[in-house]
Amino acid sequence: MTVPSPSPSPSRASDPALRLAAPAKVNLFLHVVGRRPDGYHLLDSLVAFAGVFDTVLVAPPPEDEGSGEGEGEALSLTVEGPNAGALADLSGDDNLILRAARALAEAGGVAPRARVTLVKRLPVAGGIGGGSADAAAALRGLYRLWGLTLGDGPMLDLALSLGADVPVCLFGRAAHMTGIGEGLTPAPSLPAVPMVLINPGVPVSTPAVFRDRSGPFSHPAPLRDAPINAIALANELILRRNDLERPARGLADAVGDALALLTDQPGALLTRMSGSGATCFALFGTEAEAEQARAYLAALRPAWWVERTVLVSDARALDAQA
Ligand code: C5P
């Protein structure tokens, strides 16, 4: 497995910053296959992305612009966008983007000097890896800004130290994920299936969901051939599941509500929760059916986050839209 070298799209002419897409990740299935002695759960999951994303902009700090490189730390993070309000204490050391920046600077032997802007559109703590995607995008941008030459292995180790979902977000392509997130192999190519994502606005605690999981561990059958269309993909996925759905429903009624609403939509081929919730998704055979479901759900639940998008296998292509 190799992490593709960071390759943000060229900056816009009027904007000196590198712009990177931090797309939602979607667990098409997620089986809990065991538990490590330290309490972390071992997973077997097919992870892809969706065409909805936060944008991360990375630029030199103002004092370095035009005057070469300064010394010492000069790191700032500004958060804007529709979901910015959901992120508390932006400057805190537990902010994943700042932690990622400092860890990367240390690994690369450079001073952490950058101005990072996050345009936050994805729901926070929603099971679609928003924070992990933001950290991975920041790593890609800062890697390029600082001209680093760390290899794939150290980058994946660094990503894993930030969170179990950060490696797959850094990998940026649909992958079969094992271990707690460190085992990544490219998935067979997946069709760009129309999908609707909904989040009921109830944060679900990932540790609590894992803690409430019970019963025997389950092992998904290996994916057979690459599914050629939405129906073939849905037929593969229906044989597998998300083992965290049950505990998440127990913690938040809204998860069951979201799944039931999606399942009722005409044309919904498969409905499932992503990650530890509460975001759920449905796959559709046509864009028209997906749009009809989006419009209906957005009107029915105006306070919820409802998005129509497509399944994305290669998240790097989204940098051009960021
Ligand atoms: O690594 P991340 O921050 O995503 O994980 C949050 C918490 O979720 C962990 O501290 C752990 O309690 C739980 N977790 C787990 N097994 C995983 C991933 C997360 O038990 N594979």
User: Within a domain: residue 10?
Assistant: no
Question: pLDDT (tens digit, 9 = 90+) per residue, 83-139?
Answer: 888 776 555 666 899 999 999 999 999 999 999 999 999 998 789 998 999 999 999
pLDDT of residue 8: 47
CB 117 within 8 Å of CB 142: no
What is the C-alpha separation between 71 and 112, in angstroms, rounded? 9
CB 48 within 8 Å of CB 174: yes
Domain finish residue from 158, 186, 214: 186
Residue in the block written with tokens 């009107």? 299
User: Within a domain: residue 214?
Assistant: yes
- Assign residue 202 the CATH number of its domain: 3.30.70.890
Q: What percent of the chain has pLDDT over 70?
A: 92
**What is the secondary structure of 5-20 as a DSSP string?**
PP-PBPPPTT--SEEE
Q: Is the CB of 41 under 6 A from ligand 1?
A: yes
- Mean pLDDT in residue range 70-74: 86
- Tell me the whole-structure pTM to 2 decimals: 0.93
Q: Is the CB of 206 under 6 A from ligand 1?
A: yes
Of 96, 103, 95, the residue nearest 148 (C-alpha):
103
Please tell me whether residues 106 and 24 are part of one structural domain: yes
What is the C-alpha separation between 19 and 16, in angstroms, rounded? 9
Q: Which of 44, 165, 243, 319 is catalytic?
A: 165
Q: Which domain holds residue 214?
A: 194-312
Rounded to 10 degrees, the C-alpha dihedral 86/88/91/97 comes to: -50
Question: Mapping DSSP to helix (H, G, I), strand (E, B) and coil, where does residue 117 land?
Answer: strand
Determine the atom of ligand 1 nearest the C-alpha atom of 165: 4
Residue in the block written with tokens 């913690």? 251
Q: Is 132 one of the annotated binding-site residues?
A: yes
Handedness of CA 173, 108, 75, 13 (dihedral sign): negative
Q: Is the CB of 180 under 6 A from ligand 1?
A: yes
Question: pLDDT (tens digit, 9 = 90+) per residue, 243-290?
Answer: 999 999 999 999 999 999 999 999 999 999 999 999 999 999 999 999
Q: Is 88 one of the annotated binding-site residues?
A: no
Domain finish residue from 186, 216, 239: 186
- Assign residue 68 the CATH number of its domain: 3.30.230.10
Q: Is the pLDDT of residue 233 over 60?
A: yes
Q: Whose CA is nearest to atom 19 of ligand 1?
A: 40
CB 197 within 8 Å of CB 301: no
What is the C-alpha separation between 232 and 223, in angstroms, rounded? 11
Residue 89 structure tokens: 């204490």
Please tell me whether residues 240 and 128 are part of one structural domain: no
User: Within a domain: residue 54?
Assistant: yes
Q: Is 130 one of the annotated binding-site residues?
A: yes
Domain finish residue from 170, 186, 202: 186
Q: Is the CB of 160 under 6 A from ligand 1?
A: no
Reported ipTM: 0.94
Number of domains present in the structure of the chain: 2
Please tell me whether residues 201 and 306 are part of one structural domain: yes
